[in-house]
Structure 1
Amino acid sequence: MAVYVYSIVAATHPQRLDDLDGVGNPPTNLRTVGTDKLAAVVSDAPEDLRPKRRDLGAHQAVQERLMADGTVLPLQFGFTTQDDDAVRAVLEDRKDEFTERLGALENCVEYHLKAAQSEDALLREILLESDEARGLNEEIRSGNSSPDLSFALGELVSREVQERQDRLAAGVLDALRGFAREERPSQATGNDFLSVSFLVQRDKEQSFLSEERGLAKELGEDFDLRLVGPLPAYSFV
């Protein structure tokens, strides 16, 4: 029967799973498949598994329990393989790689930060600080309806937005990366100018959080910094 794989831990990890259920309806039973160095937390793989709330919650609960007791390599929801022997073979074949990553993640948690600036505030800032943009805008407002002016203003504002957001993102990263062991940027979407995950050591966690709060206060109410964590280190496996 196909096997659903939740995460990988060291063989010495406590692996306290007795009161947790696996994914599926009815819930599957959790078990471990191990070698002398590593263990994978698995269950039978339900047929037609979908990312429903109950199953996502069961998957996350396993990661959080393991994370509370030691270091974990969390797999993304939905990972399956052929059987226990296939799991054991991967653990053996990639033991050096997995052992290295467990060492890199030891005593660390993940925090994910997204940041955005109010569009209206950003536009006001550009018109206030850019003589060229302000001049074009005033000429258009005075009644000049030339499409060339509107195009030129649009191009200028677009460039200014990108340059300013790049500088903002770099500033936020510079302020926080000193508290993180690693960082993993991802594609910002919507109004966000930054989307990044930080791998934060436990002994620097409070300093990291304090710095992020101070940064949010310094940037002001026109900015929206959304920090999520502590999380299992999905981005760093």
Structure 2
Amino acid sequence: MAEETGLFIYGIVPSDVEPTPDAEGVGSPAGEVVAIRYDDLAALVSEVGLEEPMGRPADLTAYETLLDGTAAVAPVLPVRFGTVVTGPDAVEDLLAAHRDEFAAALAELEDRLQYTVHGRFDEREMLTGFLAENPDAAALAQEVRGRPEAESREQRIRLGEMISQGVELRREAENAALIDALTPYAVAHVARPPSSELDAVNVAFLVAGDAEEDFIRAVEDFAEQRRELIRMRLLGPLAAYDFVGAHQLAE
């Protein structure tokens, strides 16, 4: 009995966008990526087995690689990862039902890309600076130093809470400073939730093509000013994952 298949939808693009011949889709083996068109829109899709498990790291990589590569040459609206429909008719129905909404969103993303600025505190530098600025915490740290954990458990818990609060407050300040520094070079921004307790900054920015160099230079300046305290990473250019309702497009 032949395996039932469906179409995995990656994103919505203008109708004149063509997948590159070497574009690889999700699944094993990887499906061929094609464009299904309706009016002035198209959806990038590939065939997948309906019984095939989805969500492997390789699948997510293929999804992001396709969307990020497309975003480098044309506007693209990412569709929520894992969206699978029954066939071409269902894809065309989706495009028809949301035609005006998709077209307007694509127009807004013309010549714009996402960059994500992510940074984590150096734990030693963060702790040293926090204790230097907080006499009560420093005294508590001195009190528990060298004492058995069981004997100083309450003090250690209190110290941990103080440090955690200090990290959170510093994170808020650093995110605000980052947004303030980069807003002149970005069209929009979205503060993202921390991915670890040591996260210092995590903000997505939508950047116009003619501002990319200035934006990257501003990120480098920000990172240099904090190079001892924060290990910064600039991710991009990316598809505009944080600036479209990607999770709603195919619901």
| TM-score bin, normalised by smaller chain | 0.7 to 0.9
- C-alpha distance in structure 1 between counterparts of 2:65 and 2:122, whole Å: 35
Residue number in structure 2 paired with 1:81: 85
Could you tell me which of 42, 47, 50 is aligned with 2:45? 42
- C-alpha distance in structure 1 between counterparts of 2:69 and 2:166, whole Å: 46
Deviation at 1:152, TM superposition (A): 4.3
Query: Structure 2 vs 1, CA of residues 59 and 140 (structure 1 numbering), >3 Å: closer, same or farther?
Result: closer
Deviation at 1:15, TM superposition (A): 1.7
Q: Is the 8 A contact 2:72 2:113 kept in 1?
A: no
Deviation at 1:97, TM superposition (A): 1.4
Query: Structure 2 vs 1, CA of residues 124 and 81 (structure 1 numbering), >3 Å: closer, same or farther?
Result: same
Residue number in structure 1 paired with 2:139: 135
Deviation at 1:208, TM superposition (A): 0.8
- C-alpha distance in structure 1 between counterparts of 2:22 and 2:162, whole Å: 59
Q: Is the 8 A contact 2:125 2:228 kept in 1?
A: no
| Equivalence map 1:93-132=2 (5 Å) | 93-132=97-136
Structure 1: stretches of 5+ with no match in the other structure: none
Structure 2: stretches of 5+ with no match in the other structure: 245-251
Structure 1 stretch 55-64 or stretch 78-87: which is displaced more? 55-64
- C-alpha distance in structure 2 between counterparts of 1:150 and 1:28, whole Å: 54
Corresponding residue SS for 1:113 = strand
Q: Is the 8 A contact 1:49 1:78 kept in 2?
A: no
Percent identical: 31
Q: Is the 8 A contact 2:19 2:34 kept in 1?
A: no
Structure 2 residue identity aligned to 1:104: E
Residue number in structure 1 paired with 2:26: 23
Deviation at 1:217, TM superposition (A): 0.6
Q: Is the 8 A contact 2:175 2:203 kept in 1?
A: no
- C-alpha distance in structure 2 between counterparts of 1:189 and 1:216, whole Å: 19
Residue number in structure 1 paired with 2:232: 225
Deviation at 1:188, TM superposition (A): 0.9
Size of the alignment, in residue pairs?
A: 235
1:3 correspondence with 2:7: yes
CA RMSD between the two structures:
2.6
Query: Structure 2 vs 1, CA of residues 136 and 66 (structure 1 numbering), >3 Å: closer, same or farther?
Result: closer
Residue number in structure 2 paired with 1:59: 63
Give the TM-score, by structure 1 length.
0.85
Deviation at 1:210, TM superposition (A): 0.4
Give the TM-score, by structure 2 length.
0.81
Residue number in structure 2 paired with 1:32: 35
- C-alpha distance in structure 1 between counterparts of 2:118 and 2:172, whole Å: 14
